[in-house]
Amino acid sequence: MGAVNGGTLKDRRNYFKMKYKTAVGLVLLSLIVSNEALRILVCYPMTSKSHSILGHGVVNRLLEAGHEVTHITSFPRGIAHPNLREVNVSRIAEAFLEDKKSTEEFALKNMVGKGNFAESVMFLYYVYLIHKNFLEFPSVVELFSDPNEKFDAVILEWFFTELNSGIPALFDCPLIWVCSTEPDWHAFRIMDGITNPAYSLDLFTHYTLPLSFWQRAEGLYKLVKKNLQLLVFYQFEKWTYNSYYPAVAAKRGVTMPPYEEAVYNGSLMFLNAHPSIGGAMKLPQNTVNIAGYHIDKTKPLPQDLQKLMDEAKDGVIYFSMGSILESSGMSENMKRSLLNMFSKYKQTVIWKFETDLTGIPDNVHLVKWAPQTSILAHPNLRLFITHGGQLSTSEAIHYGVPVVGLPVMADQVLNMKSTAAKGFGIHVTISEDMYEDLDTAVRKVLDDKTYAKKAKELSALFHDREMPPGKAVPYWVEYIVRNRGAPHLRSPALHVPLYQKLYLDLAVVLTIIIVLITKAVKYILGCRSKEQKKEKSS
């Protein structure tokens, strides 16, 4: 130190430069140590393209944060990344994909306006069967049975079953659920408790808040009915759980918790939701809204679409029925009626249509694959005609685009009802004779600037968060691992039996007290009556 004090100015500068570099190096080293890459297992069993997009969104955000990810999916991307391992389970979906066309035609012709498949017992069985096949898939069994496989956290898509809840116990690590839809009581019951149907909507309802007397009565009836259905399917799940996990756990040298415990062992639930989409709701401490997390940085359009949209002087209408119920599954009459309607617009229409079609009007352009977010981001886009899926709805709000909704099934009706209630779109019931209503809705949204204005306002709300959803995913995963499952966030409601939540024990006690008091009063009055009779007789 003395040499530096007595040295030249250059010597002193070099000394302090060295000290600065050393300090910075120590800080960086501490950051590297504290942010050591986690090993995370991500499971998305559902054989749906839209669900897989959400799964890839989780994976992308974790990879960007430097973590190592093993992703079990039916839609592997096959990308080369040093921190990514994909386990391909696409064969689970083969039976579904083989019958894809007939499935679409059945949905479009028979499900619209004739009940909701997602509310049927068959839906629960369908979901159970997919998840059972997922667990029994050879490469999945091999991965889960390998005692050398270690993970710091397991992220599971929640979709109307808890059959996968035993997976984290195999690896002795925290469980993080991801709810791919707007949440309702089905999801909340495993994190806190069943929500009140008087002010919280069922995911498959066609109503909006506030509910009328009869709507509340119907909601309560459906809640009771669905819980009875779940009691039946829990027996299937419990049997599968007990017949599958213990054998796999034995190979890893671990002991499985009871099914009833594993179901409620989630440390956190990510919600693909935000108040700007579905509305505000009461959330437990260990649930986080992350809608929009799957949306990557906007990529440039292909040259042909870029040129088409740039040169559309009257703007562009984009039409897509999503990835499951494709437009090619429509009836011939529906296709031709839509083309005839589109031909009368001055706007350019981009229609995601998966096969070839003849007799296309000059202003209509069919694309077999559409880079949806890039189209929605283009300033010339005027309107999005959508089936109302959760991804499309959140992407429309993300980019501030007004919509006209043609919901077909599941949560799509609720999404579009909410869209209409919020004022940035119009809901139209899909049918063979819908064209007058659809045309009226399209022209109204195009002509009335309040829809576009409201879409921009909601988009601003969607983006105004304390943390971007893409950053929230790795942050909360790291938080849960760092705090060993974060048990301090878990709701105490999970430890309170239903009869106590409903105060049935108190009701029984009060009933007994009232009965005893009533009998005592009757006894006393009876005794007095007998004494009075004796006095009169004497």
pLDDT in tens, 208-267: 888 889 989 988 888 888 888 888 888 889 999 999 999 999 999 999 999 999 999 999
Tokens of 78: 């096959």
Tokens of 511: 């009933």
Tokens of 68: 């190592």
Is residue 107 within 8 A of residue 88, CB to CB? The reply is: no
Consecutive 10-residue runs of the chain (538 residues): their mean pLDDT?
A: 46 50 42 68 91 94 97 91 94 62 46 56 86 94 96 96 95 96 87 86 81 89 86 88 95 94 95 88 92 92 93 93 76 88 93 86 91 94 93 94 90 88 91 90 95 95 94 97 95 87 91 94 82 69
Name the residue with tokens 């709810």: 179
Tokens of 369: 């694959």
Q: ∠327-330-332 over CA atoms, to 5°?
A: 125
Counts for the chain of helices (H) and strands (E), in that order = 21, 13
d(CA 161, CA 502): 25
The alpha carbon of 487 is separated from its chain's Cα centroid by a whole number of angstroms, namely: 23
Task: Provide DSSP, 20-82.
Answer: HHHHHHHHHHHHHHHTPPPEEEEE-----HHHHHHHHHHHHHHHHTT-EEEEEESS------T
What values do phi and psi take at 268, rounded to 5?
A: -155, 150
C-alpha closest to that of 345 among 366, 361, 321 = 361
pLDDT in tens, 472-513: 999 999 999 999 999 999 999 888 888 888 899 999 999 999
88, 168, 241, 292, 440 from 147: Cα distances, Å: 21, 14, 20, 36, 62
d(CA 514, CA 516): 5
